Amino acid sequence: MPRRYWLMKCEPAAYTIEQLARDGTCGWEGVRNYQARNFMRDDMQVGDGVLFYASNADPSGVTGLAEIARAGYPDPFAWKKGHKYFDAASTPDKPIWYTVDLKYVATFPGIVPLEQLKETPGLDQMMVVRKGSRLSVQPVTKAEYDIVVKLGKRAKPAA
DNA sequence: GCCAACGTTGGC
DNA sequence: GCCAACGTTGGC
């Protein structure tokens, strides 16, 4: 099974690549979208590469790299009454929502802004550059992943 | 904070 | 099963 590649969005207010660097690993709980759920539950494998994307940021863009440390498993937060991720329809017997664990890989020296992704040849098919693309877990091709990694290594630190 | 785009819900 | 209303996402 060849390694796959993903882009995962998170608002900096919730979690950042710097926090992941400190924590080493993290759970990606709280995804409540069926398409994203399906990717996590059905397709993600340990070792898959992840572009860590900061959404609703200034600017938004890819801030670093991670990899899948644990493949899809039921999101335990869906069972925590009172928690904001609680969903009464999801039970341990019949879980609805799934999550994965990420492992820290690298922090780019600077962000790769969405604007740069949009103007980079070879990335025009990426979901994230499409208008109105709200999906928080997206597949990317190896070619796209490699290009973004190259951009990331050359990214300039914020002034 | 605005608002366009999108997903989900619920009445019928 | 349609579709209007509503809620959320996320760039700007």
Instruction: Give the model's confidence band at A136: pLDDT under 50 very low, under 70 low, under 90 confident, else very high.
Output: very high
User: Angle CA(A128)–CA(A129)–CA(A135) in degrees, nearest 5?
Assistant: 25
Are A84 and A115 within 8 A, CB to CB? no
Quick: pLDDT tens for A5-25. 999 999 999 999 999 999 999
Quick: pLDDT tens for A11-67. 999 999 999 999 999 999 999 999 999 999 999 999 999 999 999 999 999 999 999
Nucleotide nearest A60 (Cα, C1'): C11
Q: What is the CB neighbour count within 10 angstroms for residue A118?
A: 14
Residues, CB < 7 Å to strand B: A 33-35, 130-135
Q: What is the CB neighbour count within 10 angstroms for residue A97?
A: 24
A136 touches strand C (CB under 7 A): yes
Nucleotide nearest A33 (Cα, C1'): B7
The pLDDT of residue A82 is 82
The pLDDT of residue A159 is 60
| Spatial separation of the C-alpha atoms in residues A41 and A68, rounded to whole Å | 12
A106 touches strand C (CB under 7 A): no
